[in-house]
Amino acid sequence: MSHKRIPKRRAAMAAGGVVALGAAAVLLPNANASQDGGSPDAAPAPRTLKAADASDLASRLAGLLGDTFAGSYYDPGARQLVVNVVPGDDDQGVVEAKKAGAAVREVDNSMGELKSGAQTLKSRASIPGTSWAIDPRTNKILVTADSTVTGDRWDRLESTVQDLGSGMATVRKSAGTFKTFVSGGDAVFGGGARCSLGFNVTAGDGSPAFLTAGHCGVAADQWSDAQGGQPIATVDQAVFPGEGDFALVRYDDPATEAPSEVDLGDRTLAISRAAEAAVGQQVFRMGSTTGLADGRVLGLDATVNYPEGTVTGLIQTDVCAEPGDSGGSLFTQDGLAVGLTSGGSGDCTAGGETFFQPVTTALEAVGATLGGEGTGAGDADGVGGAGDASGDGGSGAPGSGADDDGAADGSGAGTGDAADGTGVDGSDGSHPTG
C-alpha cells in the first residue's frame, strides 16, 4: 500500500478520498492474509474461504446445480459459503457442491420462483420509495418501503406481496426516504451538485477517467475537483435511472495521472481489480461527506424505486451514507473495488440501508479497466484475489489484515432486513448520495 500523497497538480484524485475519516477506523496496511482453507481431501466438510473466493465458488456452483440452485451467501462467522438448494430427483450436484467445499442447505423457494416474484413486484408495485432484493439467508424476497409509502400505495404493495404466496417475501418499513445522495473518495463538483469520485479507470481508448454515480453524471456534464473551480473532466457516458447508476467521466487532460487507489485521508489503499460482492461480506465505503464507513452486503441484484425512476441490478448493504457521498467507492480491506454509492435511506448517525452500483457491471458497460485489469498485472500490493473486506466483522476497523473473514460479526449480520429503522432521523432516504 502506498502512503505517498498525490500532488494536486497530478490532478487525478484518489478515488473516494476525504481528509476527515468517518466512524470506521483506518484500514490497516497489512491486509494480505492468505486463505485459511482445508485440504481438498477434507471434503465434504465445508472449507473456510474469503468472501471473494466464496463468490467465485458460488458462480461455479450455480451452473453446476442448475435449477436446484436457490442462491448463496457468505457466513463470515464460520468463514464458509452456504449454498441453498431445492430438493430434486438428482442429488449429484449437491454431492459435487459439498466436495467443492460449500455448506449446503435445503430450502423451499427456488431461484426461479424468487425471480418471478421480483418480476411481479416490478410490474405491479414499482412505487417510489420501495425496493426489493432476494435474500438468500431467509430464502425470501426482502421488500423495503420508506416513510413516503402510505395509504393506497402501502395497500398496493402489501396486496402484491400477499399475492406472491406465503413464505415468498417479507416487508420492512424504513423510517427514512429513498433518495440519491447528491449534495453536494475526493469531492467532485458540477452543475451545483457535489458528488464523490468512485475509482480511477482507464477508458477503452487508453485515456484516464473515473467512475462515479450515474445520477451525478446526468446532473452535470463537466466536473471540477474544487468548488467553483475550473472543470477537469467531462462526462462520457451516464446511466440513471434504468439498468444501473453509473457514469464514466474522462479527464480533460490526457496526461493526467489517475492512480488506482482509494484516499483514506492519511494514507492510500491500492486498488488491484474489481470483484463481485457476496451476501454477508464486509465492505468499506469512502465518501466526501462522511469519510470511511463499513458494514455488510445484504442483497444482490436489488431494485430501488427512487423518485427519479427505477434502478435495477444494485448491491444492498447496511453501510451508512449521506448526501455528497454519491458515487463514492465501495471496496474491500484487501484492495478490491466492489461498488459505487447510489442512494438509500438514513444517515451515519441513525444508520440505514444503502445501495451501490456493482463496479464489474459498470466497467463492462463503459468498456473501461481498473487497476491491473487488462495488463496481466494481477493483484497489486500482493493482494491475492480474495477480495473481501471482511476482515473483521463488526463496524469499526477492518481488522488487522487477518483473513478477510476473520472475526466477523455474526453471519451476515442483520440479514435481510437492512432497512428497518434506517433513516430514522434522517434524512435522506433513498436518493443517490452524490
Model confidence at 182, in pLDDT bands (50, 70, 90)? low
Do 80 and 120 reside in the same domain of the chain? Answer: no
Looking at this protein, which amino acid is placed at residue 103?
A
Do 282 and 371 reside in the same domain of the chain? Answer: yes
Do 70 and 187 reside in the same domain of the chain? Answer: no
Do 60 and 163 reside in the same domain of the chain? Answer: no
Residue 5 inside a domain? The answer is: no
At residue 223, does pLDDT exceed 60? yes
At residue 24, does pLDDT exceed 70? no
Residue 139 inside a domain? The answer is: yes
320-376: pLDDT as tens digits: 999 899 999 999 998 999 999 999 998 899 888 899 999 999 999 999 999 656 433
Residue 414 inside a domain? The answer is: yes
Distance CA 69, CA 119 (A): 19
Do 239 and 310 reside in the same domain of the chain? Answer: yes
Do 399 and 429 reside in the same domain of the chain? Answer: yes
Output the nine-digit C-alpha cell for 92.
Answer: 449429484
Do 120 and 237 reside in the same domain of the chain? Answer: yes
Is residue 408 within 8 Å of 77, Cβ to Cβ?
A: yes
Q: Which of the residues 326, 345, 427, 430 is marked catalytic?
A: 326
Distance CA 389, CA 105 (A): 25
Which residue's C-alpha cell is 465434504? Answer: 44
Task: Give the domain-ending residue among 74, 106, 138.
Answer: 106
Do 185 and 68 reside in the same domain of the chain? Answer: no
Model confidence at 80, in pLDDT bands (50, 70, 90)? very high
Which residues constitute the domain of residue 75? 40-106
Do 182 and 329 reside in the same domain of the chain? Answer: yes
Residue 156 inside a domain? The answer is: yes
Cis-peptide into 254, omega within 30 deg? no
Instruction: Please give the pLDDT value at position 252.
Output: 97
Q: Which of the residues 215, 260, 404, 411 is marked catalytic?
A: 215
Q: Which residue has the higher pLDDT, 137 or 402?
A: 137
Residue 3 inside a domain? The answer is: no
Q: Which residue has the higher pLDDT, 22 or 97?
A: 97
Output the nine-digit C-alpha cell for 235.
Answer: 462526462
Distance CA 377, CA 24 (A): 30
Residue 241 inside a domain? The answer is: yes
Task: Give the domain-ending residue among 78, 106, 134.
Answer: 106
Per-residue burial over 245-275, b = 16 or more CB atoms within 10 Å of its CB, e = otherwise: bbbbbbbbeeebebbbbbbbbebbbbbbbbb
Output the nine-digit C-alpha cell for 1.
Answer: 500500500
269-284: pLDDT as tens digits: 999 999 999 999 999 9
CATH number of the domain residue 70 falls in: 3.30.300
Dmax over CA atoms of the chain, in Å, equals 66
Do 24 and 48 reside in the same domain of the chain? Answer: no
Q: Which of the residues 53, 135, 186, 245 is marked catalytic?
A: 245
At residue 25, does pLDDT exceed 60? no
Please calculate the CA angle 242-244-250 and round it to the nearest 5 degrees.
Answer: 115
What is the number of domains present in the chain?
A: 2
Task: Tell me the β-bridge partners of 73.
Answer: 82
Is residue 433 within 8 Å of 214, Cβ to Cβ?
A: no
Residue 1 inside a domain? The answer is: no
Output the nine-digit C-alpha cell for 72.
Answer: 448463496
Task: Give the domain-ending residue among 106, 133, 155.
Answer: 106
Neighbours of 375 (CB within 10 A): 9
Instruction: Please give the pLDDT value at position 372.
Output: 54
Torsion-angle region of residue 101: left (phi > 0), alpha (psi -120 to 50) or beta?
A: left
Residue 407 inside a domain? The answer is: yes
At residue 29, does pLDDT exceed 80? no
3-class SS letters over the chain: CCCCCCCHHHECCCECCCCCCCCCCCCCCCCCCCCCCCCHHHCCCCCCCCHHHHHHHHHHHHHHHHHHEEEEEEECCCCEEEEEECCCCCCHHHHHHHHCCCEEEECCCCHHHHHHHHHHHHHHCCCCCEEEEEECCCCEEEEEECCCCCHHHHHHHHHHHHHCCCCCEEEEECCCCCEECCCCCCEEEECCEEEECCEEEECCCCCEEEEECHHHHCCCCEEECCCCCCCCEEEEEEECCECCCEEEEEECCCCCECCCEEECCCCEEECCEECCCCCCCEEEEEECCCEEEEEEEEEEEEEEEECCEEEEEEEEECCCCCCCCCCCEEECCCCEEEEEEEEECCECCCECCEEEEEHHHHHHHHCCECCCCCCCCCCHHHCCCCCCCCCCCCCCCCCCCCCCCCCCCHHHCCCCCCCCCCCCCCCCCECECC
Stretch 85-97: mean pLDDT: 83
Let me know if 215 is a catalytic residue: yes
Instruction: Please give the pLDDT value at position 378.
Output: 35
Instruction: Please give the pLDDT value at position 134.
Output: 95
Do 406 and 264 reside in the same domain of the chain? Answer: yes
Do 377 and 315 reside in the same domain of the chain? Answer: yes
At residue 141, does pLDDT exceed 60? yes
Q: Which residue has the higher pLDDT, 125 or 175?
A: 125
Is residue 40 within 8 Å of 210, Cβ to Cβ?
A: no
